[in-house]
Structure 1
């Protein structure tokens, strides 16, 4: 979809998604869900550590289930061209892992660009649903992990 054809409400929703996604990553950093804790290392979020430390306490919410059901696709290298495919999960993947990976997929697809080849990108209603659902799922993750203060910026 060309920039000048994106509806204003969808542009605002994309901003809302990026805002809340980045606030959640900030909250994860503040809670020390980091790839490395060595002094001088880049402060990068460890989603795997977050999943590992919260897997037993996570309860799938309606927003989480809706995100799983929506099946956002991941861009892959296909045979001679880029393509989109459902996100695959290992057997035994937890609901938390599914929700986290799919929220990241929405973020990556929105942020990293080229969407030709996707059946969904030019469908504003599909994008509205994905963005709204992912925001709600991230809200739920913050609440269940006790990260609301940093996430909502209430200290």
Structure 2
């Protein structure tokens, strides 16, 4: 997608999603989901720890189910170190929380990676804006279900 293809609606949806994605990562860190607790280390959210601690009690709500159904593709390395796209594959035994958190991060990456062929999928501003809105709603649901809402919303 070229910058000139970014519509006002897509711009607003992208900002909204990125704002709340950043708030969710802050809430993770604030609640001890850190890659390292060593003094002086960079404070990074530990999504894997979050999934491990919450996967058995998580049930995806409406937006999370829609995000799973949307199945955004991920960028992969193809022959001769070229870049390509493929649907994210999940194991039958994959926890729903793992799926949702991976897809949320994949949506974030879609905003910046670009380079997708014009196949009418995620490079289309008309399709990306609703995906961003779904992902944003899934973040809201996830924050509420994990008890992170106060830090997420900064209330």
What is the TM-score when the length of structure 1 is the normalising length? 0.93
- Correspondence for 1:116: 116
Q: CA deviation at 1:78?
A: 1.1
What runs of 5+ residues in structure 2 fail to find an aligned partner?
Answer: none
Alignment deviations for residues 80-118 of structure 1 (CA, whole Å, 9 cap, x no partner): 32111111223411111100000110011213x232336
| CA-atom RMSD in angstroms | 1.3
2:144 and 2:59 map into 1 onto residues whose CA distance is 11
2:117 and 2:95 map into 1 onto residues whose CA distance is 29
- Correspondence for 1:83: 84
2:117 and 2:17 map into 1 onto residues whose CA distance is 23
What is the TM-score when the length of structure 2 is the normalising length? 0.93
- Correspondence for 2:74: 74
Contact 1:115 1:121 in 2 (8 A): no
- Give secondary structure in 1 for the equivalent of 2:117: coil
Q: Residue 147 and residue 118 in structure 1: after superposition, are their counterparts in 2 closer, same or farther (change >3 A)?
A: farther
Residue 127 of structure 2 is aligned to residue 105 of structure 1: no
What runs of 5+ residues in structure 1 fail to find an aligned partner?
Answer: none
2:49 and 2:118 map into 1 onto residues whose CA distance is 31
